[in-house]
Structure formats: C-alpha cells, structure tokens
Structure 1
C-alpha cells in the first residue's frame, strides 16, 4: 500500500510525518559539529549533543532558499531512513518550498525527489498554501462550519528567514498582494547575539545558547516605550528584568529562566551568591529584539513592520475582499510563539484599519506545525480525481521532466 509522507521543509526545522500520524516530528534541518568532541550531529542526532557551546552550524538554506543540496541530501537520508523509516520508492510525497522559489531550485527539487529518491509521486507547494486547509472551525470558533474554508483569508508566516504576508481568495494566493519582510527568527537571534556581546560579554559563537535565551525570555511588548521606562527603574520596581541561568554542560545542558536576584549595578554577568550558576541578566533585550518584527527600521531596514505590511497587502487586493481579509488573519511560524505577538498585531491593526471592518486575528495552538497539519487535512479530504490532478507521478516526470511539475504545481 502506498504511504503518503508530508514534509514541511523549513530552513531551520523540518516537520515530517506520514499522513496517518497524529502529529509530525520536528527535526532540526541542520548539521552541527561540536568544537570539543568533533562529532557531527545530523538532524535528530542534535538531541544526543551534551555540549552546545561554540557549535559549528551547517545549514542547507541560505537567505531562505535551498542552495546546498549535498548537505540537504545527507539530512534527508537520515530523516527518511532513521526518523520516519520509509522506503521512498513506495511513498508519495507532499513537500513545501519557499515562496517565489527560483526555477533552477525547483528543478533541483524535482530531480532529487524523482531521480535520486524515486518517490512514486509528489506534490510540491508552499507552507502558507497548506495552512489554508486547516480546521477554521477550531481557529475561529462557531462562526465557520467545520470542514469549510473561507473564501478569503490572510496568512502571516513569520519563520526562520523571512516574514511573508499572503492573502488568499478561494484557496489561491493573490500573487500581486504578497509581501515579504526580511526579518525572521535568524535575524532576531543574530541581533540578540550582537546586543549581548556588546553589552555584556562575547556570545558571538554561541548561536544555540542565544536562541534558547530568545525563546525563553523574549516577548512582544504592547507598549515598548512604557516598558523601556520600567527597565530604567531600580530594584523591585523593575518588573521586566529576569535572570537566564546559562548551562555549564557538566550538570546541565540547557539554560533556564529564574526571577532576578539583586546585584551590583556595574555587573551584568555574575556568579550567584547562592550557587555557582553563571547568570545572564535580561532587561530591555527581552522585548526590543522581537520589536524588530514590528519596526525593522530600528536597525536601519527600509521596510514596514508586520501590522503595516498586512495593511499594504490587503490594500493591494480588490476592495470587495478587504472586509473578509481583515476578518480571517492567521499567524503561523516560529515567531508566532512569542508572548504578546498576536495581541500586538491585532491592536496595531485596529488602529490602522478602517473602523467599518471587523478585525479577527488568531494563532493555531502549535503555529510551527500549522502547514503540516493543513497538509494532512488537505490530503484526507482529497478525492481520487483531485489527487491525480495535483500530484505528479514519477512516470510523468520521467516522460515530461520538470515542465509538468511547473504546470501542476503553479500557484
């Protein structure tokens, strides 16, 4: 029996699993090398690493596009054989690619999928396109009947490399209105590395640790100027400052957050008086780093933030669609997990949008796997004829080449 594998192939992590699985496995799309043990950790092997200090990262994606196929094949080999344990020759594949992917890269996808891995058939699409097929009833409650998809929806996909705003009409993206912001999780992590290294001490080689700090400590402020005022206060009046206890890789391999303990004003890194933990004090960094999603101009980028770009995207659509787009905004991607992210976007949009429109913004329970879940839901509702129209079989590819993929996978 033919199995169906769904692979949301992100630049930082891949969400992978068979269509009949309840949830996907989230696997790092990376090869790491430890500076001390010199061992290479491929994909899920990262969990076996015990010393995350000064790790050497090797990523197959560069600036949002898959460019290092030698590296990606090594990761896919591991994932297909050891993580999901499939025979690719007996499997059909649903795979995601970046928006506005280059034709040469798309051809490389097709060649490797059909010629090297010999998948039976393939459907190549984008993550936001799959997100459209999610359960809108659970996203917005009882306003929409189960299994129905609204005629208009807007997906805000803020991931590792970019943030994309994609409006949809009848399940098809409105290409002229798609907008991209060159801010993603990678830029936020790098900015936090530079800030910590400048203010406190050198963390430029500690990407893995700083990413943990970002995910554990950072949040999106509802009023950045007000929070900055709080950060200037002393003692218990500063309700924002907190300590991040760095791992020592002897007794602990992961850091954690704890309430701030008082210390000398001149010391940012300290040894606790109660124990031997090394502590990084997080103050205005907690919200000023994610603030870049709302104001990229803070670091000199000539781009609008997410709320303003949503407005630009909707304004680029036909006027009769505006109301429905404002009422069906879904936030997905890793950055959607920041506390305060949805509330800030909704508040800013309400201030910008015409008062005659209702603003509805929602985030799936797990925004990182939203595309995978949408792909699973889409596949489960496909008829046989719809499946034949969407998928390209290996036989068709061997006969017509990438031309048939371009025709069937156009979006």
Structure 2
C-alpha cells in the first residue's frame, strides 16, 4: 500500500474518531494546568502533540497554542514528556502525519512568544508521474491553495534539488545569506517585539477604542483573521531566522519545515480575501502543443496577457528560458551560483545605503521603544494611551517628512 494512501486513511480515521468523541473541543477530563517557569502564566488546556521544541496545547474554545518547552515549569515539562511518551506508545507512527516531519528545527529568538499553532493540513500529495502541463498546473494550484507552499520547491527536477542541497552549493550561497541576516537583524528584533505585543496583548488590541471607527462588517473579519495573520507573521520570522542554519541544513529540510506552516495559516486567511484571486486563477489558459512544449497565458491587470513558454524537463514542466539556463550551465552550476550571488550581493549592498533603507534603520529604535510601551501596559486604558501616543508620533513624523527639502536645519532628513 502506498505510504500516502496509508497516511490519508489513518488521518481520516483519526478525524472521524475526533468528531465522534468531541475532541475538537476541550473535554474537562483532558484539561490540565500548564505553567511557565516564572509562575506568572498558567493555562488550562489539553495536550495535543510535541512540535519540535514546543508543546501544542488545545484550549477550551478549541483554539491551539504552541508553547516553547524551555519556557515551561519543571512540573509542566515532565507533564509534557509523560504525554509525549504516552502518545508515542499509543500511536507509534503518528509522526508520519505530523506537520513537522523533519529533523530540522529552527534556532531562533522567538522562544518567549506563544504563537498560534498552524492548523494540520496533512501531507503533501505525491507529485504526478510524467504529468501533462494541465495536470501539473492543477496539482500545483490545488496543493498551494490547501496550504502546501513547499510544492513550488518540488516543481524543480529531483536532480536539481539534490545539487542545490549539496554542501558546495550551500557554501556558495551562504555568504549572501549571512550578509542578509546581518543586515536584517535589527528588523527581526523589531518584528519579534511586535509579535510579543500581538500575542500577549490580543485582548487589549481587539478591545481598543481605535477599532470603534471600523465599519460594522470589519470587526468579525478582524477577529476571524487575527490568529492566522499573527501565525503567518510568526512563521515568516521563524523562516527568516532559520536561514542561519542553511550551512548545516539542506534547502529541502528548511523548506519542508517552514513553508507548510506559512501555508497553513495563509489557507485560513483565504476566505477573507476578495474573490478576484479565484477568478484570476480560472482565467489562466494552459495549452500543450506537443509532448515537451506548451504555454501558460496569464491575464494582466491592464487587460492584456503574458504568455510563458514551458518545456518538459527531467519530469517537470518549467519555463523554457529557465531550462535553457539549466542546460547552458549543466556542468558548472556551482560557478553560476557564485556569480549570481556576487551580483545579488552588490544589489543588496547598494539597497542598504539608499535613503529609504537608512531612514528605516533610524526608525528602528523609536519604534522599539514605542512597542515597549504597549508591552508594559497592564490595563486597557494604559494600552489605549500608549497606542494614541504612537499614532500621534507617527503623524508628527509623517508631517515632518512631507515638509522637508533635505536641509538638516529645517527638520528631519527627506522621507523621515
């Protein structure tokens, strides 16, 4: 029996059993008290699974949270270990249908953040064998819309993925990644602080007087999309932090870990998007002219179309121009990667010194202090006051930026 069929049947049985037993909602018999090491944080929740370095818990309202194990009290860590061993003995191959089927775990600075857990989207369906252009398009579309963004990586031929996963290729790419990480570090810290606000002050955010001016139909959409949007931001920062590991971790491991998590949250946001996305997908025209050639015609916003020539290469349909590049550098891919990385590094260096980038760097510290004010708020009133102070500061900065000509004596630098 194929693994994917076996997994889907097991998943279906587990789903039916959960529905019959009512375990989509927390049963009092399963609820336990979980606390952090400081003793300031407690939650009544049921154990779901261990996901990497975190334990996933389901609260009484049916929502799930992912709590770093290192943040738990000693008693709760032991409790998590007992539940993990118990679940492992009852379901010895449960890991095969887990979202995190991967030895890779990101080493990031988000250990103090309890983020919304990605919904389980099941495993990626097997790539079709020798597909037609239409079959591959339909497969990629369906998998991406179901949350499996890693499908785009698997659109590359297996031999190309293996070469990109090789140590020489990763060594060639890593210096550019390292430069990006160093440049991006202040913004990652700022985003991590924003995530702390979004995850610890959710009640104050949704209760803020600033939201009173929203249209009546916007409030339900905000509440429905809040956790998926926060989860999406968390997983994006985790992915970015995970780039630090790419010298020791293959791209396949990194992608298979992060992209399904991003996609799972993005899938929950799809119902809130305008229907134009689905309409645009339906307007894409697929035409296969022979066994190895075809075209994809995509509508453009200006009313025109863009046609991409496609070629069947090593079991995958790829843009013809990309295949030409692969064939041209078939025996020198590493050298071509090094050349491309050098060109990209020059572009990144130039971008880091333009006025807009410098302006953003100058704003990082005041923004960080503003977020500290929100984190330190203990009441709704304090949170609203801190929010209003940030808005007033932002309007002041915007007014200063519009009124300057570049003379430092006249005020902030252009664009500030």
TM-score between the two structures when normalised by the length of structure 1: 0.26
TM-score by length of 2: 0.26
Query: Which is greater in Rg?
Result: 2
Return the structure number with greater relative CO, CA threshold 8 A, min gap 6. Answer: 1
More strand by share: 1
